[in-house]
Amino acid sequence: MKQPPVIVVQLFHIKGPVPLSGKESGFYGASISIGRHPSCHLRFSADLTHVSRKHAEIIREGNQFKLIDQSANGTFVNGKKVKEVFLKDGDVLMFGEGGPQVSFLTQMEEGLIEKEPPPATPIREYEREIRMEPPLPPKRPPEEKPQQVSPVRPETPEVSVQSAKAPLIIQYGPTIRSFKQLPITIGKGPKCEYPLDHPALSEQHAQVFFSENQYWVKDLTGQKLVRINRQPIGFQAPLRSNDELALSPQGPLFRFFGEGRLGEIEEVPEEKPLESSEKTGAVAEKKSISSKFKKIFKS
């Protein structure tokens, strides 16, 4: 008898304590307990007072998942306080007002056979880092002045865009969207599979597709606005793990984490070289703000 597919619940930690912030936790099973108690599957530290010892539970009902609040401080879904609610992909959960936030997503795993874990045993299937350190500004040749126009990436042979079953997860701000069929079009237009309200984007701005066992991005603007690692791609280019993908010079900016995952990152502006007369005064200023930058990068 064919076993039903396992549905993995993926919780992306978009705001919270440093050990969890920027990570993705995956769970399977009939229920997922959340709180500060040692028996909870998703456990927060004891000093996180926004979260109750047994704060909430996510229960599987068929192919749906219901969130049940069990806390004193409340559980919020997309900013609304709830007691019980069925979750949908992309929902943002907040545990206590001003508490940690996660984004909810489900993934079908047809190759696994579901087994009930023993009592009080974490059912965490994986936990992986999805947050990357901000990239360093590129070094400029000392003998040359910075170019006003970024060089175009080397041309790659044109690859035909065809329909393919391939997963794609895009995190932008507090929301996450999941796709199982490519290609998808990104832009401001309502006909795009992934509409994105950003002033620098065109109606149909870019296309992400899967071909030759890798992910590709295609510039639909005809103006060489889409960039990978700060270089215009021209027409289309493959996406490799850890690539920076800018949909335009003004953003939005993503990092490709591999395995069909795009996550928004903040752009680090390039520092202009200081004149010799400015260097002395800048040293003291840099020292005074260095600790602030360290806090920002760690948060």
DSSP secondary structure, 33-97, as one string: EEESSTT-SEE--TT-TTS-TT-EEEEEETTEEEEEE--SS-EEETTEEESEEE--TT-EEEEST
Backbone phi, psi, residue 54, to 5°? -125, 95
Cα separation, 248 vs 217, in Å, equals 13
Residue 199 Rama label (left phi>0; alpha psi -120 to 50; beta): alpha
The count of C-alpha atoms lying within 13 angstroms of the C-alpha of 253, restricted to the half-sphere facing its C-beta, is 18
Asked whether residue 184 carries a pLDDT value surpassing 70, the answer given is: yes
Lowest-confidence segment of 149-153, 224-228, 259-263 by average pLDDT: 149-153
Burial 225-238 (b: 16+ CB within 10 A, else e): bbbbbbbbbeebbb
Asked whether residue 275 carries a pLDDT value surpassing 90, the answer given is: no
What pLDDT is recorded for position 263?
84
Backbone phi, psi, residue 282, to 5°? -75, -25
Residue of 187 and 112 predicted with greater confidence:
187
Cα separation, 61 vs 86, in Å, equals 9
Cα separation, 219 vs 81, in Å, equals 41
Cα separation, 255 vs 5, in Å, equals 30
What pLDDT is recorded for position 285?
46
Sign of CA dihedral 76, 82, 83, 87: negative
Cα separation, 32 vs 39, in Å, equals 11
- Overall pTM > 0.85: no
Rg (CA), the chain: 22
Contact assessment for residue 243 and residue 258, using Cβ atoms and an 8 Å cutoff:
no
Q: If you count DSSP H runs as helices and E runs as strands, how many of each does the chain have, helices first? A: 1, 24
Residue with tokens 């949908």: 88
Asked whether residue 272 carries a pLDDT value surpassing 60, the answer given is: no
105-151 pLDDT, tens per residue?
887 765 544 444 433 334 444 444 444 344 445 555 555 555 554 45
49-103 pLDDT, tens per residue?
889 999 999 999 988 999 999 999 999 998 899 999 999 888 889 999 989 988 8
Strand partners, 195: 187
What pLDDT is recorded for position 142?
56
- What's the mean per-residue pLDDT of the chain? 78
